[in-house]
Amino acid sequence: MAGALSVLKRIYLTIYNWTIFFGWFQVLYLALKTLKESGHEHVYDAIEKPLLYAQSAAVLEILHGLVGLVRSPITATLPQISSRLYVVWGILWSFPETQSHILVSSLVISWSITEIIRYSFFGTKEALGSAPSWLLWFRYSTFLLLYPTGITSELGLIYTALPYMKESEKYCIRMPNTWNFSFVYSYAAILVLGIYVPGSPHLYSYMLGQRKKALSKSKRE
Amino acid sequence: MKVAVITRSGKEFFKGGLELNDSATVADLQEAIYKRTKKYHPSRQRLTIPLQPGSKEKPTVLQSKKCLKEYSDGNTDKLTVVFKDLGTQVSYRTLFFWEYLGPLVIYPIFYYFPVYHFFGYRGERVIHPVQTYALYYWCFHYFKRIMETFFVHHFSHATSPLSNVFRNCAYYWTFGAYIAYYANHPLYTPVSDLQMKVGFGFGVVCQVANFYCHLLLRNLRSPNGSGGYQIPRGFLFNVVTCANYTTEIYQWLGFNIATQTVSGYIFMVVAASIMTNWALAKHRRLKRLFDGKEGRPKYPRRWVILPPFL
């Protein structure tokens, strides 16, 4: 019984990882194609559907961590996925004025390369039991460049959206109301920008530590 | 008795160890370490018995009142202890005082001073009766807490790390400002008179009950930070392990029913979850200590913190 369950788990995770891999592959392909043929202003329109699907599906990973299907602690995956969903739904999708910005291109290219490597790494590991060492190297090395480029793009896009947040009053709750509550979306966005200040170096040094652990372990094996 | 003091990595903490009386207590050892190192005040020292390598057990922490002989395992002339620095410590009284002073001062600032001019609200502010009662209720609550800190509570540990001052003050002061902002807002919408009376009335009853709980807890311990655990008895403790937390949470519920701010409810939920963590740990500890074996009493079946849920 336990054997059958673990096989089922492997099949599910293999399908999951390769499906999402395909989604991000589409994002990268369409982004580069549109960039070359039409220019950065049109990149968002081309990749919107696969981006929304591939990124939103990542909430399943929180579920996977909670039920113990995967080992990753949710304290690491939750902030990562939340910030991604915030940028995709809370900034790009909500404020169309940001969609023609050139940072959208740098954002989706950084994200999609990272995710293609990550999901193929896990997809191979689940399917075959282990991943080739070059893939392991990619997984723990490309972040060195792609995290800074991705984070810069995220910060830039949130910042460019601020005037549109203020003007549109979208997602805002104002006083007076019976629950004596207010919410100003642009202030919350500024708070998020503030969190990036300690959050990004923390995340980056965490990844550096993971890199050291993973690459030295594979050397010894 | 010779005492060797080592660090957690096994190195000698200082050369030659210490020479103490055979009848010396752990407190004497801590004093000697302090005299020798000049930096590590006894409240910063965590001394444990070294574990066998690979042992999965939790190390035994030396308790200050006990004799060193009790830890030396029959071998009366040599003892090795492991030293850990707990960092700069402050007394619990200091910590609690600064935590509670913030809300006590910040809330009235929003009530009395033209703070909202800086948020762009010009003109006269109408103050509703509920807002005035809320001010009195809130300030009484934190005044009570400060009084209890100095005159009622007997603490399980004498000190707490300095970093907790910053963390705890950030928590209390930020939430204090967050709630005070909405409760004293020029565009504040009051609830009905009845709801206000029910809320504050219930809250006051719970605060009184909470105070009585604190008195009962105090009498379980001696005053000088030597800790120790007893089965709490009497009043609501017969039914709930952490009746003091229960009454505290319900007291905030009363305040929120009367003032009706989302920020107040958020604070109550966060506070309740923090207290629930503490309550679960305390309940587990009491059940473990009072297991009914070897003549010890058995911990009775009780709610942990919030009947009928937990």
Q: What is the Cα–Cα distance from B200 to B268, expressed in whole angstroms? A: 15
B241 touches B282 (CB < 8 A)? yes
Q: What are the chain A neighbours of B188 within 8 Å (beta carbons)? A: 175-176, 180
In terms of pLDDT, which residue wins out, B72 or B208? Answer: B208
| Cross-chain residue pair B182–A178, CB shorter than 8 Å | no
Model confidence at A128: pLDDT above 80: yes
Model confidence at B145: pLDDT above 90: yes
| Cross-chain residue pair A176–B263, CB shorter than 8 Å | no
- Mean of pLDDT over chain A: 93
Q: Is A147 exposed, middle or buried (0-12, 13-18, 19+ CB in 10 A)?
A: middle
A30 — pLDDT class (breaks 50, 70, 90): very high
Strands B45-48 and B78-85: antiparallel
Give the total residue count for chain B. 310
Number of helices and strands in chain B (H, E): 7, 6
Q: Which helix (H) or strand (E) holds B172?
A: helix B163-183
Whether A147 is a known active-site residue: answer yes
Write down the pLDDT at residue A89. 97
B50 — pLDDT class (breaks 50, 70, 90): confident
Q: What are the chain A neighbours of B261 within 8 Å (beta carbons)? A: 179-181
Q: What are the chain A neighbours of B174 within 8 Å (beta carbons)? A: none
Q: What is the Cα–Cα distance from B261 to B206, expressed in whole angstroms? A: 20
Characterise B231 by phi-psi region: left (phi > 0), alpha (psi -120 to 50), beta (else). beta
Catalytic residue among A29, A147, A187, A204: A147
Distance from CA of A67 to the nearest CA of B (A): 21
Residue in A closest to B265 by C-alpha: A179
B225 — pLDDT class (breaks 50, 70, 90): low
The vertex-B108 CA angle with B105 and B114, nearest 5°, equals 120
Write down the pLDDT at residue A102. 96
Q: Which amino acid is at A39?
A: G
| Cross-chain residue pair B262–A178, CB shorter than 8 Å | no
Write down the pLDDT at residue A150. 96
Q: What is the Cα–Cα distance from A9 to A15, expressed in whole angstroms? A: 10
Q: What are the chain B neighbours of A178 within 8 Å (beta carbons)? A: 189, 260
At A49-59, the pLDDT tens digits run 999 999 999 99
CB proximity under 8 Å: A 133-192 to B: 175-182
A91 — pLDDT class (breaks 50, 70, 90): very high
Q: What is the Cα–Cα distance from A139 to A21, expressed in whole angstroms? A: 14
Residue in A closest to B257 by C-alpha: A179
Write down the pLDDT at residue B207. 97
Mean pLDDT of B75-103: 89
Q: What is the Cα–Cα distance from A188 to A32, expressed in whole angstroms? A: 33
* Separation in Å, CA A16 to CA A9, A120, B203: 10, 11, 51
Q: What is the Cα–Cα distance from A189 to A209, expressed in whole angstroms? A: 29
Write down the pLDDT at residue A221. 63
At B180-191, the pLDDT tens digits run 999 999 999 999
Beta-carbon pairs below 8 A across chains A and B: 27
Give the rounded percent of residues in chain B with a pLDDT score beyond 70.
Answer: 97
| Cross-chain residue pair A178–B261, CB shorter than 8 Å | no
| Cross-chain residue pair B188–A176, CB shorter than 8 Å | yes
| Cross-chain residue pair B182–A182, CB shorter than 8 Å | yes
Q: What is the Cα–Cα distance from B39 to B89, expressed in whole angstroms? A: 12
Helix A102-128 and helix A143-168, axial crossing angle in degrees, nearest 10: 130
B223 — pLDDT class (breaks 50, 70, 90): low
Q: Does B45 touch chain A (CB under 8 A)?
A: no
Distance from CA of B3 to the nearest CA of A (A): 39
What the block records as the tokens of A48 is 């919107």
Model confidence at B54: pLDDT above 80: no
At B274-286, the pLDDT tens digits run 999 999 998 898 8
Distance from CA of B259 to the nearest CA of A (A): 9
pTM: 0.85
DSSP state of B152: T
Model confidence at B173: pLDDT above 60: yes
Write down the pLDDT at residue B291. 84
B231 touches B268 (CB < 8 A)? no
Strands B89-91 and B78-85: unpaired
Edge-to-edge strands, sheet with B18-19 = B18-19, B2-7, B78-85, B45-48
Q: Supply the ipTM of this predicted assembly.
A: 0.80
Q: What is the DSSP string of A14-45?
A: HHHHHHHHHHHHHHHHHHHHHHHHT-GGGHHH
Residue in A closest to B121 by C-alpha: A175
Strands B18-19 and B2-7: antiparallel
Cis peptide before A201 (omega within 30 of 0): no
| Cross-chain residue pair B261–A176, CB shorter than 8 Å | no
Write down the pLDDT at residue A179. 96
Q: What is the Cα–Cα distance from B264 to B134, expressed in whole angstroms? A: 12
Q: Does A75 touch chain B (CB under 8 A)?
A: no
In terms of pLDDT, which residue wins out, B107 or B226? Answer: B107
Q: Which residues, at least 6 apart from A144, have a Cβ–Cβ distance to it below 8 Å?
A: none
Q: What is the Cα–Cα distance from A181 to B267, expressed in whole angstroms? A: 13
- Mean of pLDDT over chain B: 89
At A174-204, the pLDDT tens digits run 999 999 999 999 999 999 999 999 989 988 9
What the block records as the tokens of B212 is 């009585």
Model confidence at B227: pLDDT above 90: no
Write down the pLDDT at residue A99. 96
What the block records as the tokens of A163 is 């005037």
